[in-house]
Amino acid sequence: MAKAKTVFVCSGCGYESAKWLGKCPACNEWNTFYEEKVVSSSNNPSSANGGNKAKAMPRKLKEVEGIEVARTSTGIGELDRVLGGGLVKGSLVLVGGEPGIGKSTLILQLCDKVQGEGKVLYISGEESAEQVKIRADRLNINNDELMFLGETNIDNIQESIFSINPKLVIIDSIQTMYSEEITSAAGTVSQVREITARIMRMCKDNGITTIIIGHVTKDGNIAGPRVLEHMVDTVLYLEGERYFSYRILRSVKNRFGSTNEVGMFEMKNEGMVEITNPSSILISERNDNPAGSVIVASMEGTRPLLVELQALTTPSVFGIPKRTANGIDYNRLAVLIAVIEKRAGIALGSQDVYLNVVSGIKIAEPAIDLGVVLACTSSYKNVSIPQDVVVIGEVGLTGEVRAVNMIEKRIKEAEKLGFKKIIIPESNKKLLKDNFKLDIIGVKNINEAIKGLKLR
């Protein structure tokens, strides 16, 4: 009988130690070590080392024959966009997201769209066949080649896959699967790492496209070791606020396409409905023109998005003013408020400032800085910004408006939606080549932008 060994494993990065440590020396996280018993499985040919597999020999790279990547369309345009054109044969895709965000719904719709491409095996360790059937009926799933397997043992799963020989395998979720070779509970670092390694070898050796659904932690990262994201070919995150219907599918890693690409969906009774023109949807409810509202152009991957920013400033009742940011980084809002006070001479130190990105969208890029500055100024001065104006620009600590990337795509998106005027950095305006129909105003600093919109 194999001897059990006790180790301490970091839940953040998978680092192993013979004793408990308060701080992980690999990822510098605190209180992430937990005790785990591991049974040696060196004699098992199915272990992560590859067993009796033939030894690979070095080859000259120029002698390797290139092959064309074979893709299969998912039948969902927004999903194809994020994947880079469709599913690649033999690839391993990881889909993560918060509970109830719509991961299983989207993947089940995918199983219906790929009918005619071969057998699809949906493996669930969380739901029974009856539960999945109820959701499938609600989504009008009619794929005759869709099969279900309720199993959590990886050995039984591999046996079923080899007997059925499907073209597509769905595993929901990776944290519920376990291997008898490892004594720790399902979902631990060792189990997730071993299960993913076996699934990866299986899909690569047999050309089976596999999609893994993963849970996320409270920080929004995939639960389990960080090595999980390194092992797979593609990592997708499904994001969105629970109380909003819009969902964003974001690619953070893709070996067969561009990263940071996004697709947009709306959660409805019939499932996840793709939104082909997100900008028109995000600004569709902007009927009136109140003070503190402005349209900004953000880039999500290669797609321009026009979104509405809303700011509200009000005199603070308490000694310390309150700042609240929804949809952008709180610290970034604090920095921009300081820039407004110092460089524009607008006293927001006694004002509570609230900023919201409409429709629950989260934006991280700095190209919306100028929009934040103008929205806060508009609310403070109680002067409306014209509805036909779009604002683009990154703001530095000295108040300068810095250039942003892909400016022409942003301008074309604004022009397509009927906007008449756009405010951009002066350095971007000098490099424009195409002739646009809308009025383009270049500004060097926030004071020029404020004066240009008559917010003084």
Is 48 a residue whose pLDDT tops 60?
A: no
Comparing C-alpha atoms, which of 433, 435, 436, 434 is closest to residue 414? 436
Percent of the chain with pLDDT over 70: 93
What pTM, to 2 d.p., does this model score?
0.79
| ∠ CA 368-371-373, rounded to 5° | 115
pLDDT score recorded for residue 13 = 73
Q: 143-170 pLDDT, tens per residue? A: 999 999 999 999 999 999 999 999 999 9
In the numeric block, which tokens belong to residue 341? Answer: 């006070």
Give the number of other Cβ atoms within 10 Å of residue 163's Cβ: 7
pLDDT score recorded for residue 380 = 96
Rounded CA separation 401/343 (Å): 12
Rounded CA separation 428/442 (Å): 8
Is 17 a residue whose pLDDT tops 60?
A: yes
pLDDT score recorded for residue 108 = 94
pLDDT score recorded for residue 230 = 85
Is 23 a residue whose pLDDT tops 80?
A: yes
Which SS3 state, helix, strand or coil, does residue 32 take? coil
Contact 356/327 with Cβ under 8 angstroms? yes
Q: Which sign does the torsion angle of CA 312, 315, 316, 321 carry? A: positive
Place of tokens 């999500």: 300
Cis peptide, bond prior to residue 173, ω within 30 of zero: yes
Which segments of 84-188 does DSSP mark as H helices, in order? 103-113, 129-138, 154-164
In the numeric block, which tokens belong to residue 121? Answer: 């095996």
Contact 274/77 with Cβ under 8 angstroms? yes
CA atoms within 13 A on the CB side of 48: 13
Q: 174-221 pLDDT, tens per residue? A: 989 999 888 777 887 778 888 999 999 998 999 999 999 988 776 666
* Mean pLDDT along residues 232-237: 93
Give the number of other Cβ atoms within 10 Å of residue 44's Cβ: 13
Give the number of other Cβ atoms within 10 Å of residue 182's Cβ: 19
* Mean pLDDT along residues 122-145: 93
Q: 314-370 pLDDT, tens per residue? A: 999 888 899 999 999 999 999 999 999 999 999 999 999 999 998 888 898 999 999
